[in-house]
Amino acid sequence: MFTKDHKLIAPSILSADFARLADEVAAVEAAGADVIHVDVMDGHFVPNLTIGPVVVEWVRKVTDLPLDCHLMITNPDQYIGEFIEAGADCVTVHQEACPHLHRTVQLIREEGAKAGRKVMTGVSINPATPVETLGEILPDLDMVLIMSVNPGFGGQKFIPGALDKIRRLKAMIDARGLSTYIEVDGGIKADNIAEVAGAGAEVFVAGSAVFNAPDYKASISALRAGL
Ligand code: DX5
Ligand code: ZN
């Protein structure tokens, strides 16, 4: 589970060396990561193919950190149970991929209960989707993930419009007295994380900023210095 005690750094293993995945996860854990972010792509909702539940199952065996599964897939209902069974602590689906979003969010909760543990419910929105579209579902969510790039690839540039979306989402959460986490994903670097945190984000996904550096401890510390 996540904590509200401090802001969380979530390295995305999308930018890790997949041939050495266990070592990479252990290395970022030792370097101070709070959460492991797992980018699941289906080649349909987004133009890239990545990780399935079998990888989550093996990653689960090598770390106690929360596994934050970001499902960039069409028809996530079909796979939610498998990701939870594999060890996901948080399942985030895309608003744009879920015509029956309320049902999908309930399914995450039900599958978590079936597995005997609390699984966080998350919904993500693409850069062109307004936060206001989450107004009805917000009380049912543990986390909202604001995409600050168009999903599909690591190493893209932060889209500045995400800042105002984070501020508006924070205002919606505060106005209702909720404690929903705000996560941001895409183009987070040491030189923009302070501004993103200032807007109200609490969980920071970072792929290339962590894994494309030679020293993970240094890259995570540089990010944390902005928080
Ligand atoms: C993009 C993924 C991100 C990605 C972030 O679709 O959801 O999690 O790995 O990578 P960076 O931090 O390099 O933008
Ligand atoms: Zn992601």
pLDDT band at 163 (very low <50, low <70, confident <90, very high): very high
Distance from the alpha carbon of residue 80 to the mean position of ligand 1, in angstroms: 21
Contacting residues for 97 by C-beta, under 8 A, at least 6 apart: 45, 71, 72, 73, 74, 75, 76
* pLDDT of res. 1: 83
Residue range 169-192, pLDDT digits in tens: 999 999 999 999 999 999 999 999
How far is Cα 94 from Cα 134, in angstroms, rounded to an integer? Answer: 11
Q: How is residue 160 annotated by DSSP? A: T
- DSSP tag of 157: P
Q: Which atom of ligand 1 is nearest to the CA of 206?
A: 12
Q: Is 191 a catalytic residue?
A: no
pLDDT digits (tens, 9 = 90+) for 24-49: 999 999 999 999 999 999 999 999 99
Q: Which residues contact 136 (CB under 8 A, 6 or more apart)?
A: 102
How many other C-beta atoms lie within 10 A of the C-beta of residue 31? 17
Rounded to the nearest angstrom, the distance between the alpha carbon of 38 and the centre of ligand 2 is 7
**Band of pLDDT at residue 97, cut at 50, 70 and 90:** very high
Report which residue type is found at 1. Answer: M
pLDDT band at residue 110, thresholds of 50, 70 and 90?
very high
Give the closest residue (by CA) to ligand 1 atom 9: 154
> Which is catalytic among the residues 64, 68, 185, 191?
185
Mean pLDDT of the chain: 98
